[in-house]
Chain A
Amino acid sequence: MHEKKDPIIFSSYEPREGLFDEVFEDNGSVKSIYKTLFDLYGGHSVNDYENLNNKAKASFFNQGITFQVYDNEQTQEKIFPFDLFPRIIHPLEWEIIEKGAIQRSRALNLFLWDIYHDKKIIKDKVVPLDLLSSSEHYLHQMMHLDPPGKIYNHISGTDLIKHSDGEYYVLEDNIRCPSGVSYVICNRTALKRALFGVFNHYQAHSVTNYAGNLLQILETVIPRGVDNPNCVVISPGRFNSAYYEHSYLAKAMGVELVEGQDLFVENDFVYMKTINGPERVDIIYRRIDDAFIDPLEFRPDSALGVPGLFAAYKKGNVCLANAPGTGVADDKAVYTYMPEIIKYYLDEAPILNNVHTYRCSRPDELKYVLENIDKLVIKPVDEAGGYGISIGNQLTKSEIEKVKATIKEHPRKYIAQPILSLSVHPTYIEEEGSFEQRHVDLRTFTLLGKDKDFVLKGGLTRVALRKGNLIVNSSQGGGSKDTWVLKNEA
């Protein structure tokens, strides 16, 4: 297939020691689940592959899956980097992930109900009071408020990694406005367009059923007295970096995509402004953060929200998904108590591993952290998007001192975890014209409704594109891969 001058794409793949490679065994042989795939890909020359790669990129541009960057006063459209070599997850491995994700999602929902009602878990001293009282995302407005169907976190994104021991660990739970699900779907579309042949050899679960399930879940939490609910997706608008996702979800659910300016509240009911006058809205999948949803109740300078929305919610006339105030439970300090939280509400052992976490708020653990920074990752408890993370073994001495001082100043704000070695996956590096090892993680998407749940069979495999980098977030230059959950063993 290829000429001699044109090397094949795996010819310069160099496995590094001590890393868990998802595709290759330590002895260099290909893992059985990847064998067929490796044979199919391995035959490509660099030129062939470059061609396919360009096709995939064009597919993203044509699908309009882009974000804007402002550079030298010029706006440029870019696509999120996408890698054509998919990640494969074994059905048995997936079963555990799926069960574990639902378990966490349920436990977090019960936790939220409890802390916004009787606070039993605190009275029983399972978690300390200051865990909540010091959280920025705790909303006193949510106290004693019953969300429709008693559901808070309708949509959860769970971030998992595979450690060098070959086991999955949860890195964090995202239950505010987790994003990325549309990339799961368009990654699949792009891969199919570029390399449809590979799907003849593997039976992967479809990922296009997400939106249908999301709508069903949302329709389990209808406000009282509504038969035929009008569900909408609210977005900050087309300049938001996740706008593609908002519009995709609205379209795939067949519901309207609205902005704050399209809605108004009258007598505690929410309406949208249509060409034929007002029309009532019953369920809102909101992709706007708590602080911005209602300027009368939260940030008064918010132009994205709807004045009076929270009052309508309080009256039970509209359902918001996710509920306001969920942020208190996906904070990294609460994460450290997840095993206890799961045990407390469900009386079960956690299915998915938590990463051992040192809480800087506890004097004994703080002492350990300060003495062992070079072996730890220091994370602020309430930042999203990979911001503010320090990785101990990459810091200079003076940087370590700086980090120490910041932690000492606000110990509650930081946690520390052992430096985990994220597994690596062969990833095509354009500049090198070959495959190299890159660290990956996995975000799964779990839906929770009244008497119904769903986990998307697949997920977003994010890739840290810079060599040696452990941070996979797209805001930090990460890319992604299509992720196949197999129907049966390959």
Chain B
Amino acid sequence: MGLKKRSVNMLARVANNLFWMGRYIERSEHIARYLNVNYFSSLDAPHELSQSRQFMLRSTLFMIGDPVNDTDQVLDEEKVLFNTALNQEKDYSIISNIKSARENANSARDLISTGLYEAINRFYHYVLNYDTNFFVKKGLYDFTVHVTEQTAVLRGKIRGSLLHDQVYAIIMLGINIERATQIIRIINAKYHDALLATGSYGDQVAHSFEWTTLLKCIESYDMMRRFYRKTPTSLSTLEFLILNGDCPRSVMNSLNQIYRHMSVLDKAKRPAKDSTSFLVGKLRAEIEFTKVESIECNVQEFIQQILEKLVEISQKMEKEFFNY
């Protein structure tokens, strides 16, 4: 390697931290956008239920993993907004995610670029200093848009200022595993909403207004319109978000990236049967050769399976690479 002194593999502990840094950055983006899109689309949604603030708040809590099962319970809007975004006591809140991303970056700050670290730090201080009262009354749009934009800045710094080596691969694995996971969670939540809020356009789940919201939650609405040149239906939405490898926010695209970054860590051409590479390759092939018609009648079962396999991949990674 000419001038290079010696290549040193990264520490397993640090790899674990960077993997989770990637996951937390990605997670905070999806929560922020989900909150933003659902709140603002509910303001003038065509369907009575979709327009109800209670419905929207429940959907948000469902998506972030704090579902309200009691159908009679009336939720306090400001409290739910606070919990989702700025309550440090809630592990799922945006602030907790950014804090965790920063803590993980902290323990690996010798490996990442100064530019990336400062961007994470600035982001953290922005969120930390955001006025709670302003947020719940006026700042919802400003705050959530800023969060999603900052995550884009971070991804830009990751891609544009780090060496594209193991460190980069580990972070990108974290980002993409989290992205696939969040896409599935969001599909699950909006599918759930669509079942409840049937009848937006012609009393059909297949034509629910919620599909449009779903696409917007994953920042894929415009591109979906461009691709199909049609109003979204359940089928086209699921096909686009799960199976279309060209959609950067699809499960397929995330798996392709996971597969690619995995090969930086595991250079074996034929990965061993019990390796992470093997699991990734298998899931990727399964999705690649799935047709949307075959999942149409059992969507929930299908996405549940993908979710379980993603968890399995993450756990396998932990055993194979982060064992210290």
Contact = CB atoms under 8 A, between A and B. Distances in A.
Interface string A234-259: 00011000010001101100011111
Interface of A: 61-64, 228, 230, 233, 237-238, 243, 247-248, 250-251, 255-259, 261-262, 272-277, 279
20 contacts: A62-B125, A64-B117, A64-B121, A228-B5, A237-B107, A238-B103, A247-B109, A256-B11, A256-B111, A257-B110, A261-B324, A262-B13, A272-B11, A273-B12, A273-B13, A274-B12, A275-B9, A275-B15, A275-B170, A275-B321
A62 B118 contact: yes
Contacts of A255: 8, 110
A261 B13 contact: yes
Interface string B86-124: 000000000000000001001101110010011001100
Interface in B279-324: 321-322, 324
A64 B106 contact: yes
Given A64-B118, A64-B121, A261-B324, A275 B109 contact: no
A243 B170 CA distance: 23
B12 A256 contact: no
A262 B324 contact: yes
Contacts of B106: 64, 238, 243, 247
A255 B14 CA distance: 13
B17 to A, nearest CB: 10
B11 A274 contact: yes
A64 B109 contact: yes
Interface in B2-30: 5-6, 8-15
Nearest to B109: A247
A251 B112 CA distance: 8
A251 B118 CA distance: 14
Contact of A276 (B5, B9, B103, B125): B9
Query: 9 closest pairs, A vs B, by CB?
Result: A274-B9, A250-B110, A251-B110, A257-B110, A275-B321, A228-B6, A247-B109, A276-B9, A64-B121
Contacts of B111: 251, 256-257
Contacts of A277: 9
Contacts of B122: 62
A176 to B, nearest CB: 22
The binding surface of chain A is classed by DSSP as mixed
A259 B121 contact: no
Nearest to B324: A273
A279 B118 contact: no
Contacts of A257: 14, 110-111
Contacts, number: 77
Contacts of B14: 256-257, 262
Contact of B9 (A233, A237, A243, A279): A279
Contact of B11 (A62, A247, A262): A262
Contacts of B170: 275
A276 B322 CA distance: 10
A73 B9 CA distance: 39
A154 to B, nearest CB: 19
Nearest to B11: A262
Contact of A256 (B110, B117, B166, B321): B110
A258 B103 CA distance: 16
Nearest to B128: A77
Contacts of A247: 106, 109-110
A80 B110 CA distance: 21
B170 to A, nearest CB: 8
B265 interface: yes
A64 B106 CA distance: 9
B11 A273 contact: yes
Nearest to B9: A274
Given A230-B6, A256-B11, A238 B107 contact: yes
A261 B16 CA distance: 14
Contacts of B324: 261-262, 273
B121 A63 contact: yes
A398 to B, nearest CB: 47
Nearest to B102: A64
Given A64-B117, A256-B8, A273-B324, 19 more contacts: A61-B125, A62-B121, A62-B125, A63-B114, A63-B121, A230-B6, A238-B107, A250-B110, A251-B110, A256-B11, A256-B14, A256-B110, A257-B110, A257-B111, A261-B324, A274-B9, A275-B11, A275-B12, A275-B15
B231 to A, nearest CB: 45
A277 B8 CA distance: 11
A150 to B, nearest CB: 25
A228 B3 CA distance: 12
Nearest to B5: A228
A63 B114 CA distance: 8
Contacts of B109: 64, 247, 251
Interface string B62-87: 00000000000000000000000000
Nearest to B113: A251
A287 to B, nearest CB: 13
Contacts of B15: 275
Residue picked from B166, B321, B324, most chain A C-beta under 10 Å: B324
B145 to A, nearest CB: 21
Contacts of A62: 118, 121-122, 125
Contacts of A64: 106, 109, 117-118, 121
B103 to A, nearest CB: 8
A237 B118 CA distance: 20
A61 B118 CA distance: 9
Contacts of A262: 11-14, 324
Contacts of B10: 256, 274-275
A197 B270 CA distance: 59
A237 B107 CA distance: 8
Contacts of A250: 110
